[in-house]
Amino acid sequence: MSDFSIFISRNKRDVQELQSFCLSRKIVLIADSLIEFTYTPFTIPEDWNVIFFPSPRAVDFFFQEHSRLNFSNKKFACAGQGSALALQKWVEKVDFLPKNPGKINEVQHEFEEWLGEGKVLFVGSNQSKKSVLTNLPFNQYHFIQAYQTNFKSEEIARCHVYIFSSPSNVKSFLLRNQIPNNSKVISWGQSTTYELEKNGITPIFELKSSELAEIIQYLEEFLKF
């Protein structure tokens, strides 16, 4: 399928496995994140015992400023495998990792049960959905903005398949682009699906994990490469 093309809203360095797959099948791959990030100064409150990271980027921005703090009496929670891998560079143990990271409602319920009466510090950006905090009382969590998510929208060549990795990338894409009528869309998790559906776009597949292998498996099995 030499004329077949795929867009994914992640940078090339982050999707090397998918690049190899596309190269072997002569598929044109456009890999480009449509968002960028800047550090936001923040202070850390005192009254908390669990810290939650929704993304690898939240981990990086937090620890680049606060790696020297003593976290010996704290527990670490994250939204998925990517966040866990980033966190393991800084701490000895990740205490909470959801079973199905792409399913927002399941993650929310699982985290609430695990947290119990604990108080959580949620580290995110100006675009963070903060879904895991939805049913928690206000006195059980603190939110700190460690970085700013900025749109860097650009025109993307027409593709047969579009893979969106976050709600922010969906928003940025739609500032200057539309999904062609006959093109297919793959969603990276439930929150991205919600953002697509808000804009009248129904994905053909929603990833259950944050693994590129799942994308490749779907392309092989269902799009018959």
Per residue in 118-138, pLDDT (tens digit) is: 999 999 999 998 999 999 999
In angstroms, the CA 47 to CA 49 distance is: 7
In angstroms, the CA 166 to CA 56 distance is: 13
Q: Are residues 145 and 47 in the same domain?
A: yes
Last residue of a domain, one of 149, 181, 203: 149
Taking every pair of C-alpha atoms in the chain, what is the biggest distance, in angstroms?
57
Q: Are residues 173 and 142 in the same domain?
A: no
Q: Are residues 42 and 145 in the same domain?
A: yes
Asked whether the beta carbons of 111 and 68 are under 8 A apart, the reply is no
Q: Are residues 45 and 101 in the same domain?
A: yes
Does the pTM surpass 0.75? The reply is yes
Q: Are residues 165 and 113 in the same domain?
A: no
- Which H/E stretch holds residue 16? helix 16-24
What is the extent of the structural domain holding 43? 38-149
Q: Are residues 43 and 144 in the same domain?
A: yes
Residue 203 carries which side chain, given as an amino acid letter?
P
Q: Are residues 118 and 63 in the same domain?
A: yes
Q: Are residues 63 and 89 in the same domain?
A: yes
Residue 165 pLDDT: 93
CATH number assigned to the domain comprising residue 212: 3.40.50.10090
In angstroms, the CA 154 to CA 53 distance is: 29
Q: Are residues 58 and 138 in the same domain?
A: yes
**φ/ψ of residue 154, rounded to 5:** -150, 160
Residue 7, C-beta contacts closer than 8 angstroms, at least 6 positions apart: 29, 30, 31, 32, 156, 157, 159, 161, 162, 163
In angstroms, the CA 6 to CA 161 distance is: 5
Last residue of a domain, one of 149, 178, 199: 149
Question: Which residues of the chain register pLDDT less than 50?
Answer: 1
Q: Are residues 84 and 107 in the same domain?
A: yes
Q: Are residues 11 and 69 in the same domain?
A: no
The SS3 call for residue 86 is helix
Q: Using only C-alpha atoms, what is the Rg of the chain?
A: 18
CA distances from 218 to 97, 105, 167, 188, 208 (A): 24, 23, 21, 12, 11
Cα separation of the two ends of the chain? 8
Residue 1 pLDDT: 44
Q: Are residues 23 and 61 in the same domain?
A: no
CA distances from 65 to 42, 43, 58, 100 (A): 9, 10, 12, 30
Which neighbouring-strand residues pair with 7? 30, 162
How many structural domains comprise the chain? 2
Angle at 195 between CA 137 and CA 128, to 5 degrees: 40
Last residue of a domain, one of 121, 149, 177: 149
Residue 225 pLDDT: 61
